[in-house]
A and B are shown apart, each in its own frame.
Chain A
Amino acid sequence: MSVITYSKAINQALAEEMERDENVILYGQDVAVWGGIFKVTEGLRDRFGPERVFDSPISENVMVGAGVGAAMMGLRPVVELQFADFIFTAGDEVFLKAGMWRFMHGGAYKVPLVIRAPSGGSGFGPEHSACPEAFIMHAPGLLCAVPSTPADAKGLLKEAIRLDNPVVYFEHKLLYAMRGEVPDGEYTTPFGKAVVRREGDALTIVAWQDMLRRTLAAANRLSKDGIEVEVIDPRTLNPFDRETIIESVKKTGACMVVEEAYRTLGVGAEIGALLLEHALPYLDKPFKRLAIPDVPLPTSQHLVNFIVPSEEDIYKAVKELVA
């Protein structure tokens, strides 16, 4: 085991996969010479050359669309959208091309494309701060990864690059500096397998990325009050490990989802529906969502703090729910 940052874990995953497979290419705005605005791709151009790591024009539609075209023809492109919000700039290419082009053409080719999408954070304003993973989870054809630790950031990205289907890989901007243990040597993290980050019997909480970090901090405080919550990190949203959540709820009898995204029809809504369909007899408390009220993210920090679930919000919500 070695301890590295989430950002370094992504960089290592890219380097290892580029080393392993010459068909892996990497491009996006500022990713090559400058190493990316978040410095995640530093050193890769020097190591793999400008044919495989290059700066693209500010042309999100082509960035993603060309990724689909190149993937159809046997390359394994990794495209960095500078901010996850730009998924909507490239909406046709993300949802209709990456998601549907293979289906629409009867499975004539594979589309092994990875779209890296830095999400979340604060102070970046309404068009640079969102966590739009629910949109991706809703769309057919797109796999979706939401790594929460350096180990998963590396393992899920390596797996994403090797998969023959398009993956939207969300890397949370507030986690880039997070440090954590990463296994030495070769490994990948499978899609569709949630992990229980903390065991408990009072309540099941589903959270990922920065909301997971806040949830685990709240869980420590709750533990001191004698409340043990079970915390599930789904790791990927498509495929989505429904079983682990259902099994946990059978044990705890209650569920809360903490989500850094709009409340209405978010991932939490899907989990609520899932429990209604498959676990209603086991629920002895109302299902609960903590999410952003349905407004865009402002720029000023104190306004952001008012609407994004905090450790304190999570702590209080659990206390109310299990009281």
Chain B
Amino acid sequence: MNPKLMLDIFKTSLLARRFEARVIQMAMAGELPGSLHAGAGQEVCQIAAITAMNKDDYILYGHRGVAYMIARGTSLTAILADIAGKEGATSRGKGGVMHVVDVPHGILGESGTLGGGFVISVGVGMALKRRYPGRVVTYFFGDGTSNRGTFHESLNWAAVQKLPCIYFCENNGYAVSVPTSTSTAVPDISARAAGYGVPGVVVDGNDAAAVYEVMQKAVERARAGHGPTLIEAKVTRLFGHYIADQQTYRPDAATVIATKDPLPKLQQTLVNAGVLNDTLLAQLEADAQRQIEEAVATVKAAPLLAPETALQDLYA
């Protein structure tokens, strides 16, 4: 894979990781509402997949982290404003960080009910096919969400109508606290693709290059009018389901953080490839820090959304 692209993926992942850490730190200090579901560990996979899409494609996403939006180009200030309920929030205080929306960057939003994005994606696919042929939509969801009935209805519909939809499952092994082995009858979510006559692919979600490659194939297939692909990336959730989750159900949590973090792995790959060194790394860290602190300062200075905003935006 092109080392320049790999470096871009690393750079965005680093920014997402540091931004999220700052948000968690502010939430713990009581400066922000703590409703974030940390995406640490999954952002390399999310960003690699999004990198294989075009700027005018669309995404619907799951609730884990904010890397999707950062990868698509939404400003940190807007995301932070969504968390804080300040002016500049993309969902104007209605959805918070779970429902960041940025249509010009192809981010169509998130369903509060898990798996609600499946059905929306089918409609987006129907509209793209008729109005914007050649564009695709990807729905990112988790292994737990794949047990919703909407998964079945939507994959079948998208497959029979050959819609330009990509279904990207981030399998991190847990549905909140419940391990996949307890909740799901098959070890690989991708095996379910057979029921819809579409390709089902498993990929190591901690391997950015591998994710990029399978995503590229799925995007090409969808663009060409051949219909959806179900991709299952085996990923690592480094932290709990939400910020204050003690993970009493997960005895190996500490080991996972120490050994399975894909970010240092990607960093090493880039160093080995000769496109990253200590100087550049320090510069990337400093850039990330600067962008984050600018956003923090802007949002701290921004006014809270007017209470009357609660009465707006229901009807067009």
Q: Contact at A62–B315, with CB atoms within 8 Å?
A: no
Q: Contact at A140–B314, with CB atoms within 8 Å?
A: yes
Task: Select which of B123, B312, B314 is within 8 A of A72 by beta carbon.
Answer: B123
* Distance in angstroms between the alpha carbons of A165 and B314 in the assembled complex: 9
Total contacts A to B, CB within 8 angstroms?
Answer: 142
> What chain A residues lie within 8 Å of B32 (beta carbons)?
none
Per-residue B-contact encoding for A159-174, CB less than 8 Å = 1, 0 else: 0000011000000000
> What chain A residues lie within 8 Å of B156 (beta carbons)?
57, 59
- B40 CB to closest chain A CB, in angstroms? 25
Q: A75-B130, A105-B95 are in contact. Are A66 and B116 (CB under 8 A)?
A: no
Interface extent on A, as a size class? 35 or more
* Distance in angstroms between the alpha carbons of A77 and B113 in the assembled complex: 23
Interface extent on B, as a size class? 35 or more
> What chain B residues lie within 8 Å of A59 (beta carbons)?
153-154, 156-157
Q: Contact at B316–A164, with CB atoms within 8 Å?
A: yes
- A93 CB to closest chain B CB, in angstroms? 6
Q: A66-B123, A68-B120, A70-B126 are in contact. Are A101 and B109 (CB under 8 A)?
A: yes
| Residue ID in chain A nearest B109 by CB atoms | A105
Task: Select which of A66, A74, A108 is within 8 A of B122 by beta carbon.
Answer: A66
Q: Which of A77-132 contact B (CB under 8 A)?
A: 77, 92-93, 96-97, 101-112
| Residue ID in chain B nearest A58 by CB atoms | B153
> What chain B residues lie within 8 Å of A23 (beta carbons)?
131
Q: A61-B149, A62-B154, A165-B316 are in contact. Are A106 and B124 (CB under 8 A)?
A: no
Task: Select which of A62, A96, A106 is within 8 A of B95 by beta carbon.
Answer: A106
Q: A62-B153, A62-B154 are in contact. Are A106 and B122 (CB under 8 A)?
A: no
Q: A59-B153, A66-B157, A72-B108 are in contact. Are A107 and B312 (CB under 8 A)?
A: yes
Say whether A69 faces chain B, with CB atoms less than 8 Å apart: yes
Per-residue A-contact encoding for B253-285, CB less than 8 Å = 1, 0 else: 000000000000000000000000000000000
> What chain A residues lie within 8 Å of B79 (beta carbons)?
none
B residues lining the A interface (CB < 8 Å): 89-95, 99, 101-103, 108-109, 111-113, 116, 118-128, 130-131, 149-150, 153-154, 156-157, 160, 312-316
Between A and B, 19 residue pairs with Cβ closer than 8 Å are A25-B126, A59-B154, A61-B119, A62-B150, A68-B120, A70-B127, A72-B124, A72-B127, A73-B124, A75-B127, A77-B126, A92-B113, A92-B116, A97-B116, A102-B313, A103-B314, A104-B94, A105-B94, A107-B92
